[in-house]
Chains A and B, each alone.
Chain A
Amino acid sequence: MAVSLALTVNGKPVSAEVDPRTLLVDLLRNTLGLTGTHVGCDTAQCGACTVHLDGKAVKACNVLALQAQGGNVLTIEGLATNGALHPMQAAFKDCHGLQCGFCTPGMVMSALDLVARHPDADEQTIREQLEGNLCRCTGYHNIVKAVRQGAAAMAK
């Protein structure tokens, strides 16, 4: 039984016929081909699938596509403008805040949500706020650095 779904993804209207049990992450990856959002644990524990739904970070493996009905979704593919990296993306590159890159899209989307809520976050706050995003490569050291640098660049 397919259900009609219409929403905005990265500023563009999209519509699809989906099985009601379809997860938001599967809609993004499989239906829309936006494979930048990754599935690391399928249980809302690793954060690799983090996207913004109506301005707030959500774990897309734990949200039904239908819950985004009429909503506004922002994914990693929607951050750069005209080929220029978003300041947070640039900070991750500058600080070597990524290695294998698999957790990176979720990490960047979480970082943006974090900065929106805590524009002047100190190291401890950043570490606590990133608790929902697992990285196995970096030891978080440079991710924390990148979030601080990205936040500062966004404030300018």
Chain B
Amino acid sequence: MGANETGYIGQAVKRKEDARFLTGTGQYTDDVSLPRQTHAYFLRSPHAHAKIRGIDTTKAKQAPGVVAVYTGADLEGVNGLPCGWLITSVDGTPMNEPPHPVLAKGKVRYVGDAVAMVVAETRDQAKDAAEQIDVDYDVQPAVVNVVAALEPGAPQIHDEAPGNKCYTWSIGDKAATDAAFAKATHVTKLDLVNNRLIPNAIEPRAAVASYSAADEAYTLYVTSQNPHVERLLMTAFVLGLPEHKVRVIAPDVGGGFGSKIYLYPEETAMVWAAKRVGRPIKWAAERSESFLADAHGRDHVTHAELALDASAKFLALRVHTTAAMGAYLSTFASCIPTILYATLLAGQYTTPAIHCEVVAAFTNTAPVDAYRGAGRPEATYVVERIVHQAGVELGIPQDEIRRRNFIREFPYQTPVALVYDTGGYDATLDDANKAADVKGFAARKAEAAKRGKLRGLGYAAYIEACGIAPSNVAGALGARAGLFEAGEVRVHPTGSITVFTGSHSHGQGHETTFAQVVATRLGIPVENVDVVHGDTGRVLFGMGTYGSRSLAVGGTAIVKALDKIVAKGKKIAAHLLEAAETDIEFKDGRFTVAGTDRSKAFGEIALAAYVPHNYPLDKLEPGLNETAFYDPTNFTFPAGTHICEVEIDPDTGAVDVVKFTASDDFGNIINPMIVEGQVHGGLAQGIGQALLENCVYDADSGQLLTGSYMDYALPRADDLPSFRVSTQVTPCTHNPLGVKGCGEAGAIGAPAALMNAVHDALSAVGVNRFDMPASPHRVWQAIQSAKASA
């Protein structure tokens, strides 16, 4: 595909990375094998809550092939895993931050908590030996439900967190909110549960750790979305190693969805042990370990109230949320139900007063952290479910009640801290309305009724905040890390390019999208640009990929580096063309003296920079290699309208998603094919949450009941419809690409749209409140309960 006037921008360039993935020549962490490597296996707690009276590893150490066995007691001098965001409670105290030991010390707090690491010649030997470890558990009562964990008398999980509380946090003006409710003509109230999810990237977490005694250096291959952050946290906070002696490589990574952002116990213990064992150590999680010990998502219990005036304008929103943290604070756990949740409660609406209080608590479950959308799906679920309910109560059509409250003037300061730079909410709503053929819905519903089916339509007009920023603001809010991104553009002597980015691709297609940006800006073929990511030994620095930030933040860092390349190129060209630097123009890959036909191709400038025979060496360094760091001035605000149409069989409770329409505004789009793919995937996860997926722990024993694909319903091909997706564009105003991010939108809008459709359908049979997931037996039960109480 050739470059046109806008180069490759907006072109569905086929992905550069596909060739290796399609031929089985990708390199994922578990594909890495090092000479003399050993294999690790982690013994995990079978109990949700127990004191450890003692651990006897004698027999295990003597088992065939065993190289070493380590428990928490062996990890002397190793700190606990850190949490990257300090939330301050309403009373001014810092959140309770109990230790998160790499291997359990004295107590286990969830089923799957790592207790010991066995290192052996083979994986099977390590596994067999682990069975020989004798752990003397004193089993304690457990609590897995977040509301129950806060009740008086609940089992105490950490000494450092009385009442299991992590923090009580709030945002917004309570007095103004109360005052608005006092003058409301209508108040809609809603109780909601945002169900706990297990991320389930298809590639299980894995790591290969090695140590070179000669240069006292470590190398870690790991399934990570952000290898530099992983290294920083592991070296500086946990292991006390010099950062320059640890190289972290996240090669091809098979999906993340948030779950591979975090610093986990396994790879940390492996790096520590690699030096002691003196041989490389490899580990790959079995799927049952992924279910037990990957950080989970969501798990909120919320009460919300919306105040409206006589014309259905929203006056105020009041929200109280209880959020589960799980047994320990995972890397970014604390900021998800606060900074990334409550700040989005304005949605697309002009609601002038909002107050939200969040209580976060520990439970005897796997830690909870960011999962695709991270806080924003939860916020959208609250806003869009209560708007739906208000529309029902007031008899106002769902599109109309939204239109009456849309924000239309930008920039817009919300009452919950954010400033939306731009948006066009009518455009996406109108587009979705048309595409979903909302006008024809009544006829389809009537036709379905003739067949005995319940048909429903649901809207979600969502907004999200992406490319979290700026660092100083985040720092003031408790972030313990920066939120910039780094990029490097290395022009080779012959004019081909290697780009190094601190963002990480684990399915998003950066190798293609970023190459399109670079090729367009430099006016060269996209084949001449390769993108490197995921290696602290090659990439200067990086914050990684999460929160739909890669193009908006990582792409901008590359653009800034490109600007430097072009600026230096102009200096070189001015010298070669014997013209003033200010007279040099760069366009379509050529440096030209303005108003003349005298020019030099980009490749000629590159060669001159590396073979500087005719070169201004007195004024300019040779070479053409530039780096840039970019710290955004604001979040980006993708938004859109999703419309879901369902048909429910009241006899079986089966919900059929007959049509799903998404109209999104992601700002400018570099590669529409990749953007559509991102939306599809997000929708599948959002629909999965609303329709199928549900993480369940047994309330008494704390055992994970949904610990396999037989029990946890991951969407399969025949569970989902084909999607109808389209985009509208209002370019982001504060980054040079005008991009906003698209990775999470589907997962943010879909659950509310689907559940609104389910409620619309079930209203015909008297079901008023129904929580996710809308799986057949739950829907059927809700129908039966409604019948019984009718």
Which residues of B sit under 8 angstroms from A105, Cβ to Cβ? 24
Q: Is the CB of A45 within 8 A of B26?
A: no
Which residues of A sit under 8 angstroms from B722, Cβ to Cβ? 123, 141, 144
Question: Which stretch of B3-11, B251-259, B477-485, B536-544 is in the interface?
Answer: B251-259
Cβ-closest chain B residue relative to A145: B722
Q: Is the CB of A102 within 8 A of B28?
A: yes
Which residues of A sit under 8 angstroms from B710, Cβ to Cβ? 45
**A56 at the A/B interface (Cβ < 8 Å)?**
no
Q: Is the CB of B509 within 8 A of A99?
A: yes
**B585 at the A/B interface (Cβ < 8 Å)?**
no
Q: Mark A72-115, 1 if CB is under 8 A from B, else 0.
A: 00011101100001000100111010111111110010000000
**B451 at the A/B interface (Cβ < 8 Å)?**
no
Known A-B contacts A96-B673, A138-B681; A37 and B253 likewise in contact (beta carbons under 8 Å): no
Q: Mark A34-56, 1 if CB is under 8 A from B, else 0.
A: 11111111110110100000000
Of the candidates A75, A103, A134, the one whose C-beta lies within 8 Å of that of B709 is A134
Which residues of A sit under 8 angstroms from B682, Cβ to Cβ? 139
Most buried by B among A46, A99, A133, A138: A99
Q: Is the CB of A40 within 8 A of B723?
A: no
Q: Is the CB of A108 within 8 A of B673?
A: no
**B286 at the A/B interface (Cβ < 8 Å)?**
yes
Which residues of B sit under 8 angstroms from A77, Cβ to Cβ? 23-25
CA A1 to CA B209, docked complex, whole Å: 30
**A151 at the A/B interface (Cβ < 8 Å)?**
no
Of the candidates B22, B204, B254, B683, the one whose C-beta lies within 8 Å of that of A89 is B22
Q: Mark B266-295, 1 if CB is under 8 A from A, else 0.
A: 000000000000000000101110000000
Of the candidates A37, A43, A127, the one whose C-beta lies within 8 Å of that of B708 is A43
Known A-B contacts A46-B287, A135-B202; A104 and B15 likewise in contact (beta carbons under 8 Å): no
Which residues of A sit under 8 angstroms from B284, Cβ to Cβ? 39
**A68 at the A/B interface (Cβ < 8 Å)?**
no
**B299 at the A/B interface (Cβ < 8 Å)?**
no
Which residues of B sit under 8 angstroms from A139, Cβ to Cβ? 680-685, 715, 720, 723, 746
Of the candidates B17, B18, B27, B28, the one whose C-beta lies within 8 Å of that of A92 is B18
**B571 at the A/B interface (Cβ < 8 Å)?**
no
Which residues of B sit under 8 angstroms from A94, Cβ to Cβ? 14
Known A-B contacts A96-B676, A136-B681, A144-B722; A101 and B26 likewise in contact (beta carbons under 8 Å): yes
Q: Is the CB of A141 within 8 A of B24?
A: no
Known A-B contacts A35-B31, A43-B708, A101-B26; A138 and B718 likewise in contact (beta carbons under 8 Å): no
Q: Mark A119-156, 1 if CB is under 8 A from B, else 0.
A: 00001101110110111111111111000000000000
Q: Is the CB of B254 within 8 A of A101?
A: yes
Which residues of A sit under 8 angstroms from B201, Cβ to Cβ? 100, 102, 136
CA A123 to CA B33, docked complex, whole Å: 40
Which residues of B sit under 8 angstroms from A40, Cβ to Cβ? 202-204, 254, 287
CB distance from A66 to the nearest CB of B (A): 16
**A118 at the A/B interface (Cβ < 8 Å)?**
no
Dominant secondary structure at the A interface: loop
Which residues of B sit under 8 angstroms from A142, Cβ to Cβ? 676-677, 680
**B443 at the A/B interface (Cβ < 8 Å)?**
no
Of the candidates B25, B709, B746, the one whose C-beta lies within 8 Å of that of A36 is B25
Which residues of B sit under 8 angstroms from A117, Cβ to Cβ? none
Cβ-closest chain B residue relative to A105: B24
Which residues of A sit under 8 angstroms from B204, Cβ to Cβ? 39-41
**B507 at the A/B interface (Cβ < 8 Å)?**
yes
Which residues of A sit under 8 angstroms from B673, Cβ to Cβ? 96
**B124 at the A/B interface (Cβ < 8 Å)?**
yes
CB distance from A39 to the nearest CB of B (A): 7
Q: How many residues of A contact B (CB 8 A)?
A: 56
Of the candidates A42, A93, A124, A141, the one whose C-beta lies within 8 Å of that of B22 is A93
Known A-B contacts A85-B23, A93-B18; A138 and B684 likewise in contact (beta carbons under 8 Å): yes
Q: Is the CB of B718 within 8 A of A103?
A: no
CA A105 to CA B18, docked complex, whole Å: 11
CB distance from B516 to the nearest CB of A (A): 14
Of the candidates B22, B31, B257, B716, the one whose C-beta lies within 8 Å of that of A104 is B22
CA A136 to CA B203, docked complex, whole Å: 10
Cβ-closest chain B residue relative to A94: B14
Which residues of A sit under 8 angstroms from B716, Cβ to Cβ? 130-131, 134, 140
Of the candidates A19, A34, A104, the one whose C-beta lies within 8 Å of that of B21 is A104
Q: Is the CB of B720 within 8 A of A140?
A: yes
Q: Is the CB of B723 within 8 A of A141?
A: yes
Which residues of A sit under 8 angstroms from B30, Cβ to Cβ? 35, 38-39
CA A94 to CA B18, docked complex, whole Å: 10
Q: Is the CB of B677 within 8 A of A99?
A: yes
Q: Is the CB of B22 within 8 A of A127?
A: no
**B214 at the A/B interface (Cβ < 8 Å)?**
no
Q: Mark B664-696, 1 if CB is under 8 A from A, else 0.
A: 000000000110110011111100000000000
**B213 at the A/B interface (Cβ < 8 Å)?**
no
Known A-B contacts A127-B718, A136-B200, A137-B507; A99 and B23 likewise in contact (beta carbons under 8 Å): no
Which residues of B sit under 8 angstroms from A127, Cβ to Cβ? 717-718, 720
Q: Is the CB of B24 within 8 A of A140?
A: no
Q: Is the CB of B717 within 8 A of A130?
A: yes
**B498 at the A/B interface (Cβ < 8 Å)?**
no
Q: Mark A14-46, 1 if CB is under 8 A from B, else 0.
A: 000001010000000110001111111111011
Which residues of A sit under 8 angstroms from B18, Cβ to Cβ? 92-93, 98, 101
Q: Is the CB of B202 within 8 A of A21?
A: no
CA A94 to CA B286, docked complex, whole Å: 32
Q: Is the CB of B508 within 8 A of A36?
A: no
Which residues of A sit under 8 angstroms from B685, Cβ to Cβ? 136, 139
Of the candidates B15, B25, B31, the one whose C-beta lies within 8 Å of that of A96 is B15
Of the candidates B27, B124, B202, B674, the one whose C-beta lies within 8 Å of that of A100 is B202
CA A104 to CA B203, docked complex, whole Å: 11
Q: Is the CB of B681 within 8 A of A89?
A: no
Interface residues of B in 530-552 (CB under 8 A from A): none
Which residues of B sit under 8 angstroms from A137, Cβ to Cβ? 202, 255, 507, 677, 681
Which residues of B sit under 8 angstroms from A21, Cβ to Cβ? 124
Q: Is the CB of B714 within 8 A of A136?
A: yes
Q: Is the CB of A76 within 8 A of B23?
A: yes
Q: Is the CB of B717 within 8 A of A108?
A: no
**B506 at the A/B interface (Cβ < 8 Å)?**
yes
Which residues of B sit under 8 angstroms from A101, Cβ to Cβ? 17-18, 20-22, 26, 252, 254, 507
CB distance from A22 to the nearest CB of B (A): 9
Known A-B contacts A130-B717, A142-B680; A100 and B22 likewise in contact (beta carbons under 8 Å): no
Of the A-B pairs whose beta carbons lie under 8 Å apart in the complex, a sample of 21, sorted by A's number, is A34-B24, A36-B26, A40-B287, A43-B288, A75-B24, A76-B22, A79-B23, A93-B14, A99-B255, A100-B253, A100-B254, A104-B21, A108-B22, A123-B722, A128-B717, A131-B718, A133-B717, A137-B677, A138-B680, A139-B682, A143-B717
Q: Could you tell me which A residues sit within 8 Å of B by CB distance?
A: 19, 21, 29-30, 34-43, 45-46, 48, 75-77, 79-80, 85, 89, 92-94, 96, 98-105, 108, 123-124, 126-128, 130-131, 133-144
Q: Could you tell me which B residues sit within 8 Å of A by CB distance?
A: 14-15, 17-28, 30-31, 33, 124, 200-204, 252-255, 257, 284, 286-288, 506-509, 673-674, 676-677, 680-685, 708-710, 714-718, 720, 722-723, 746
Given A35-B30, A100-B203; 6 other pairs, CB 8 A cutoff: A35-B27, A41-B287, A43-B708, A96-B676, A101-B252, A141-B723
The 6 closest A-B pairs by CB, nearest first: A36-B24, A101-B21, A102-B254, A139-B684, A100-B507, A99-B507
